[in-house]
Amino acid sequence: TGSYRVWDYCVQYQESSLDFISRLMELEGIAYHFSHEADKHTLVLTDAATQHQPFSGYEVIPYHQTPSGGSTDEEGISQWALEDSVTPGIYSLDDYDFRKPNAWLFQAQQNPASPKPGSIDVYDWPGRFVETGHAEFYARIRQERWQVEHQQIQATATAAGIAPGHIFTLTNAPFFSDNGEYLVTAAGYHF
C-alpha cells in the first residue's frame, strides 16, 4: 500500500536472490508469506498490520484446557505461553550525504511498549538514506519491528489453520486478558 524510494545504488553480494530481495523488503518494512491452495501457491506481500487476513475457517480459535498440557480431539490451542523481551526505548539513526554535508539527517523514534528512554537505546549508523523523509520512515519501521519483538506467544495447537501471515482471534483463554486477535509470525508442524 505504501510508496517506496528508488535506490540510486544497490548491490547484491554473496547472497542468494531470495536473501537479497528479503533483505531489501525487510529494510522497507515489507513482510511476506505464502498462501497455499490445491492448484496454486501465492506469494503475499504486506506492509501494514491491517493487511493480514484470517485463514479461512479459522477466524476464531478456542483455547482448550487440558490436564497437564495434554491434547484433545477438538481443534484449538492447548498450551499458551507469553514471552516478554526487553526492547529499546528509542531507536535512532543517522547518515551523511556528501552532496549536502550540512544536512541534518538524524531521526529518533520512541517505542511506547519499551522502558523509558535512556535505559536501552539503539543507534544505527549509517542509516542507508540521504533524505530526512526516508529517515523518519526507517525509524518508524525499525521501531515497529521492536514493538513486535517486545511480546510474543509460544503455543501448541491442533488447529490446522494456524499459518504464518494470518490472524486469528483467541477465545476461552485461561487469562481473560489473553483473549483477542493475534498475528502468526511462525509455525512448526508435526504430523
Average pLDDT value for the chain: 86
Give the Cα separation of 28 and 23 in Å (integer): 9
Model pLDDT, residue 103: 86
50 by Cβ neighbours in 10 Å (0-12 / 13-18 / 19+) ranks as exposed
- CA-to-CA dists, residue 71 to 65, 75, 115, 155, 156, angstroms: 9, 10, 38, 12, 9
Give the Cα separation of 134 and 5 in Å (integer): 8
DSSP state string for 103-130: ----EEEE-TTSSPTTSSEEEESS-S-S
Contact criterion met (CB below 8 Å) for 37 and 140: no
Q: With cut-offs at 50, 70 and 90, classify the pLDDT of residue 190.
A: confident
Neighbouring C-alpha atoms within 13 Å toward the C-beta of 84: 4
User: Residue ranges of the domains in the chain?
Assistant: 1-51, 58-76+158-191, 90-150
Give the Cα separation of 83 and 148 in Å (integer): 12
Q: Report pLDDT digits (tens) over 37-90.
A: 899 999 999 998 888 999 999 999 999 887 665 566 788 998 888 888 877 888
- Classify 1-51 by CATH class: alpha beta
